[in-house]
Chains A and B, each alone.
Chain A
Amino acid sequence: MSEQKPKILVIDDERLICELLKRYLEKRGYEVTFFTDGREGLKAIEKTTFNLALIDIIMPALSGIEVIKQLKQVAPGLVFIGMSGSLDETGIAAVSHLGAAGFISKPFDLPQLAAFIASKIRPASLAGGPSAPVQNVGLNKEFIPPPPPAP
C-alpha cells in the first residue's frame, strides 16, 4: 500500500510561481494544488484537508492577509507560510501575528524552502528519516521564525 503524500496548497497570483513550486515540490514527494485566486483557494480548503499552505501576501483580488484570516476560520490547524516579493516588514509582522509557521521573501531559494517545509511536514520520500534542517542559503537573506505561541 503506497503512503499518502502530504498535501500542499499554493496560492499565488503568479501562475508561473505556482507551477514552479508544484514541479519542484512534487519531485520531492508532496502533492501540490495551486490557485491563482485566493477565493478559489479558500473554497478548496473547505473541501480538502491540506497539510501546509504557501500563501502570497500581495495579490490583487483578495490579499494574502485576508486569505489567511478566512483560512484560520475554515481550517484553524493548517500550517501556513507567507511569501512576498516586497520587503515590507509591516506585512511580515502581520503574517507573523496571524500565526504563520514562517515567512519567506522572494526570490526564495527552493532547497531552503523545501527544507523548511520538510521540517514542518514529512514528505512521502522522507517519511521515517530525519527532517532536513532549515538553512539560510541562496538569495533569500531573511527568514522570520514563527511567532511565540499566544498566551
Chain B
Amino acid sequence: MKKPEIFTKGKILKDTEKRERALWLLTCLILVIYALLIAVMSRPAVWDAIAQGVGWFTFILLLTGLFVLVILFCAYLIHRVVYRLRQEIIEDERLKILGQATAYLSHEINNALTITQGYLLMASEMELPPELKNDLAIVRDKQEAIHNLLTDLLLYSGLGRSPKEPVDLRAVIMNSLLQMNPLFARSNIAVQQKIPETPLMIQANTNQLNAVFVNIFKNAVEAMGTSVKKELTLECRPSADEYLILIANSGPLIPSEVKKHLFEPFFTTKESGRGTGLGLRICKNIIADHNGQIWIENRPNQEGVRVVIKLPSLKEKPDVGTEAQNPGH
C-alpha cells in the first residue's frame, strides 16, 4: 500500500540518517582497528618492550585510540537521542500542520457536504426512476466517505482531542454498542457481553473512547462479512489498577504479514474508497493518550480475532455533586 507523499521522509531526515550511518560505520572501523591493536599488544613480546620503555609511542597511540573511540561512541549516542527527539518534533509539527489544514478544509468541505447532502435528500424524496435513486445512493455513500476521511484526519492529527474527565467505562461501551446495534442487527451478528455491575471509573474523553469502540465494532462487522458464524463478544476484566477490555469476533484470522502493519497510518486491506487506513492508528493514538495499550491477536485454537485494550483505572473516586475536576493533559 503506497502511503501519501506527506508521510514519507523529507530531505533533512534522509540526510540526518546518512550522517548517522556514516558515524556508525566510522565507530565500527575504529573498533576493528582498536581490536587489531589489542591483538598485537597482547603478544608478550610487545608488553616486554613496553616494560622496557621501548614501545611508549605505541602505548600512547593505543590510549589515544581508546579515547577517540569513547568520544565517538558518546557522540553516536548523543546523536541518536537528539535524532529521535528531532524526529518526534518533526512528527508533531507535521501533525499540527495536517490538523490545521484539515480543520480549515473540513469546515469548507462539511459546509459543501451539508448542501449537497441536503438537496440530495430532498431529491430522493421525490418520485424518481429506481436507477436514479440507486445513483443518488452511491453519491450519498461517497459523501459519507469524504466526511469520514476528514473526521479521521482530524482525529489522527490530534486536533479532535479534548479534555478528559472521570467517566464510567461501562457507560461509554454501552453507548457505543447502542450506536452500533442497528448495524449488528442488519449484519445478523450476535452480540454477547460480559460487563461488571460495579462502575469502572477511568479518566477519559467520552467522545474519543466512543470513536475507538465504534471503530473496532465496525472493523469486526466488516471482518465477519463472509463468515458463516457471526459472533461478537465483549468482556471487561477489572483488576486493581487497570481494566482489560476484550472484543472478540468470529471473523477470519489475520495473517502475520498484515498483522504487523495494522496500526500503521494509511494501511488498509479494504478496497479503494472503503477505508482511510487511519482507523486503528487513531485508536492506538487515543488509547496511548489515555495511558493505555491496544493490541490485536488471533484467538488461540479457535476461529476469530481479538482486540485487547488496557486502560488504567481512576485511583480516586470523583467527588459527585461538587465542582468538576480539571481536565487532565
Contact = CB atoms under 8 A, between A and B. Distances in A.
Contacts of B270: none
B110 interface: yes
Interface of B: 103, 106-111, 113-115, 117-119, 121-122, 143-144, 147, 151, 154, 159-160, 162, 179, 207, 214
Given A20-B119, A85-B108, A142-B207, A107 B160 contact: no
A106 B115 CA distance: 10
B114 A108 contact: yes
A14 interface: yes
Contact of B111 (A14, A88, A89, A141): A14
A70 interface: no
Interface of A: 14, 16-17, 20-21, 23-24, 58, 84-90, 93, 105-108, 110-111, 136, 139, 141-142
A87 B111 contact: no
Nearest to A85: B110
Task: Kindly name the residue among A14, A89, A111 whose own CB sees the greatest number of chain B CB atoms within 10 A.
Answer: A89
Given A14-B111, A23-B122, A86-B110, A107 B117 contact: yes
Task: Kindly name the residue among B110, B154, B214 whose own CB sees the greatest number of chain A CB atoms within 10 A.
Answer: B110
B96 to A, nearest CB: 15
B119 to A, nearest CB: 6
Nearest to A104: B114
B111 A106 contact: yes
A116 B147 CA distance: 22
Given A87-B106, A105-B110, A139 B147 contact: yes
A139 B113 CA distance: 10
The 9 nearest A-B residue pairs measured at CB: A85-B110, A107-B113, A89-B162, A20-B118, A106-B110, A107-B114, A106-B114, A85-B107, A86-B107
Given A23-B122, A107-B110, A89 B117 contact: no
Contacts of A24: 118, 121-122
B103 A86 contact: yes
A96 to B, nearest CB: 12
A14 B115 contact: yes
Task: Kindly name the residue among A105, A108, A139 whose own CB sees the greatest number of chain B CB atoms within 10 A.
Answer: A139
A89 B143 contact: no
B114 A88 contact: no
Given A105-B110, A107-B143, A136 B179 contact: yes
Contact of B147 (A16, A93, A107): A107
B115 A17 contact: yes
Contacts of B143: 107, 139
Given A87-B160, A89-B162, A17 B114 contact: yes
B328 to A, nearest CB: 15
24 contacts: A17-B115, A20-B114, A20-B115, A20-B118, A21-B118, A23-B122, A24-B118, A85-B106, A85-B107, A85-B109, A85-B111, A87-B103, A88-B159, A89-B160, A89-B162, A90-B162, A106-B110, A107-B113, A107-B117, A107-B143, A107-B147, A111-B121, A139-B147, A142-B207
